[in-house]
Amino acid sequence: MRLRNITGSREMIAESQYVVQEPEQYKGRWKEFFGNENPIHIEIGMGKGKFLTTLALQNPDINYIGIEKYSSVLLRATQKREEMEECTNLYFLRYDAEEILRVFDKDEVDRIYLNFSDPWPKDRHAKRRLTSKEFLKRYNEFLVPDGKVIFKSDNRMLFDFTLEQAAEARWQTSEVTYDLHHSEYVEGNVMTEYEEKFSAQGNPIHRVVLTR
């Protein structure tokens, strides 16, 4: 379902002014990068960027960083970003989430969005799921004490796995719903491209907020 092979995408990403090319150098210095003390929200596996670009326009007092490892997908997001000249609070990283501790320092991020993450259905790949206890341990290293991880998915297996992993890692769950669009939590919900597609097909959207 992902685009992977747009010719020249890696080169175009490398030249984009909206993609931070060596993000490791900003570890512990992201507020300096943005030039303000505003909170930082990140989306891991941001896809084509509809969700994050919408939030960035709605919330100019929050800094946003979108992380995506596939150049061909990230290219679509940079093309959207180029149309947002008035926006100064949104940048992207082409990066593998497994290396995220090289990019963010203690108490540097206020919120993490995980939207329709790869379910990695084989058991041997469970550690690669972005809501595994292994990833929750990573997030614990750079989220502020009252930081949140907000997860949405149409995959019931992955969602149940997430709740189990949160319990094992001693994270708290709240605002749990198996049908977001027919719940009390739908107000203010910003949809992703996948969410629009799955909802149109009649698939219920699951959502949970994780805190420590």
Mind telling me the catalytic residues?
118
d(CA 105, CA 121): 31
In sequence order, which residues have a C-beta less than 8 Å from that of residue 184 and are 6 or more positions away?
none
What DSSP character marks residue 201? Answer: T
Quick one: tokens of 20? Answer: 């931070």
How far apart, in Å, do the first and last CA atoms of the chain sit? 33
d(CA 173, CA 5): 38
H/E element, 71: helix 71-81
What is the distance of C-alpha 63 from the center of its chain?
A: 13
d(CA 209, CA 25): 30
